[in-house]
Structure 1
Amino acid sequence: MSQAPDSTAIAAADIAAAAGRIAGDIRRTPLLDLPGWGCLKLEMLQVAGSFKPRGAFNRMRALGVPPAGVIAASGGNHGAAVAAAAASLGVPAEIFVPEIAAEAKRARIRGFGARLIVGGATYDEARQASEARAAETGALMVHAYDQPEVLAGQGTVALEWQEQVPGLTHLLIAVGGGGLLGGIAAWHAATGVSLVAVEPEGCPGLHAALAAGRPVPAPVGGLAADSLGARQVGRLMFPIVARLAARGRLDSVLVADDAIRAAQRALWDHARLVAEPGGAAALAALLSGAWTPPPGARVGVLVCGANTDPGAVG
């Protein structure tokens, strides 16, 4: 796959190849239809509690893992995914997390047998520390959102969802660094499906990038910062997403922390599902009215993560 940061970096063929490569490693996650909510894709039930193992497994299987193992930086979910993939493949893993990483996510990483290192106050500092360590050891770096193999792996969500429900017209997707959105956008580049990119008000990285015409630094804070708190969206995903936006097939919306918390409670009250704040962000846009479906829309909502303390919901 090409490393070039343009709209051809990830193609549908790459995503189809990734789906075949990781088919034995991941779960085909279920759907839930609820009146007024659309078709929920429960990627929170994926291996390690989020969509992230799709990209982690794809990069490791596509490139192979050296004797030094793998290294990643993460707010939590990506780290758990890389740790789970490494454990499954029998290779060592080191995961760097920022100080804001939730204890529930740290426990998940340790539970998969990885070595956990607190690498700074923010994700960006943890990333820099992880890259320095990878250069020192020769381990394979598995980036949370800005490598072609990771984007292609995350794009398998869209392929799978389309196979399960071929008639959806709009998909709501939470955005942090944008690997998930970039992969999904690459799959749907020629399908006609429209995307709604949802970010917390405290982490508006894509919103800022679309306004500037390029990835730019943005604030990081609020309820979902541990999973959606990338300082800047990825260079690989941005041209793919910007192209859809220019065609009128991508909306970028922001949601308040109160709306995210309400969506978490709604998932528990109506479906007995525990989602982390980032996992509930896409649904928050729909339930709060931050995004309103156009007439005739058939809506899908990705519930993308569940790595939280269950006592924090409800």
Structure 2
Amino acid sequence: MITLADVDQAALRIAGHVRRTPVMELDAAHSPGQVWLKCEFLQKTGTFKARGAFNRVLGAMERGEIDPSVGIAVASGGNAGLANAYAAAAAGVPATVFVPLSSPAVKVAKLRAAGATVIQAGAQYADAFELAMAFVAETGAIYCHAYDQAEIAAGAGTIGLELLEQLEGVDTVLVAVGGGGLLAGIAAALEGRANTIAVEPENAPSLHHALAAGHPVDVEVSGIAADSLGARRIGAIGFDVAVRTGVRSVLVSDEEIVAARTFLWEHYRIALEHGASAAFAALHSGVYVPETDERVAVILCGANTDPAGL
């Protein structure tokens, strides 16, 4: 469980290590109302995950937990690995990243360029996670979870604090959900001040099914956004914060994600990965329809994609 206090602490710790990303208003001709885009795809390493990575690595360094000869380990579809490798390099410690065989080549190449040792194995994120945990047990590396760790989620939540400073009177924030770290952080940051809507692919509905069941459950994962939103089970932190803050989940199809991604490229020259397009897909498709005068912000959370596919 995390609260606003954890997000505030993260903001102090990572200040100067990450970018304050801009907010852009959607053109009236393209908008169902008052809509702003939080351009987190401009963050270091190309995704929001740099925030949580720095919070986790710097926090562990402060506590003297990291062995500089072993460093950190992370299992990731690509983005969390890249963010944590970048943070580890900045702190001067090694990073070992475990990724599934399905990870896009562009992300694997970026990991190696960041100086990480990359181990590819298994069909899904869960397989990479098991291997990473075995490595941690054997070597004593500090594990940086892709989403279900308090410092990781709190770091992500600093986006919400920035948004409140940049956009006065925001009512609702749409957030893409995979394992739930970004959702947890933003919902905690906005608690009592704005509503958070979770947007998930129909083919990876981890939070949607958990809310229906009353607890996290395993789901089948597939589809175009599985490389970044492909967690088989919502994280405990994401689920707990979603329940506490009254988060509602909506689902979008692969076709709606592709259409939203194409639209943002054609009209705004914003190149997003498919998972990062999910939140905007809820608006673009009409799955989420704002009320009259509702002020809506959409988190565009990642841009580690092959532009040849746009």
Aligned pairs (5 A) from 1:149-298: 149-191=151-193, 193-245=194-246, 250-298=247-295
Distance 1:272 1:188 in 2: 29
Unaligned runs of 5+ in 2: none
Question: Partner residue of 2:14?
Answer: 22
How far apart, CA to CA, are the structure 1 residues paired with 2:58 and 2:192?
27
RMSD (Å), alpha carbons: 1.0
**SS of residue in 2 equivalent to 1:124:** helix
- Paired with 2:196 and 2:83, the residues of 1 have a C-alpha distance of 25
Show the counterpart of 2:3. Answer: 11
Shift of 1:244: 2.2
Q: Give the distance between the partners of 1:56 and 1:119, measured in 2 at CA.
A: 22
Q: Is the 8 A contact 1:146 1:179 kept in 2?
A: yes
Contact preservation (8 Å) 1:205, 1:231: yes
**Residue 46 of structure 2: aligned partner:** 49
CA distance in 1, matches of 2:241, 2:88: 29
Q: Which runs of 5+ in 1 are unaligned?
A: 1-8
Contact 1:119 1:130 in 2 (8 A): no
Q: Which range moved further: 64-73 or 273-282?
A: 64-73
Q: Post-superposition shift, 1:243? A: 2.1
Q: Which runs of 4+ in 1 moved over 2 A?
A: none
Alpha-carbon distance in structure 2 between the residues aligned to 1:206 and 1:15: 21
SS at match of 1:196: strand
- Structure 1 CA distance, aligned partners of 2:214 and 2:235? 13
Partner of 1:39: 36
Give runs of aligned pairs for residues 97-136 of structure 1, distance below 5 A: 97-136=99-138
The count of residues paired between Structure 1 and Structure 2 equals 300
What amino acid is the match of 2:281?
Answer: A
Q: AA paired with 1:52?
A: K
CA distance in 2, matches of 1:30, 1:183: 18
- Is 2:80 the counterpart of 1:63? no
TM-score normalised by length of structure 1? 0.94
CA distance in 1, matches of 2:53, 2:259: 31
In 1, distance between residues paired with 2:286 and 2:130? 38
- The question of 1:86 aligning with 2:88 is answered yes
1:24 offset after TM fit, Å? Answer: 1.3
Residue 77 (1) aligns with residue 79 (2) = yes
Q: Distance in 1 between matches of 2:134 and 2:95?
A: 15
Superposed counterparts of 1:301-312, under 5 Å = 301-312=298-309
Identity score, percent: 51
State whether residues 203 and 229 of structure 1, in contact with CA within 8 Å, keep that contact through their aligned partners in structure 2. Answer: yes
Cα deviation for residue 237 of structure 1 reads 1.9
Q: Deviations over 1:34-83 (max 9, x none)?
A: 12161100111101000001111101111213221010000011011011
Note the C-alpha offset of 1:166.
2.4
Deviations 1:65-120 (A, max 9, x none): 32210100000110110111111111100000011111111111111010100131
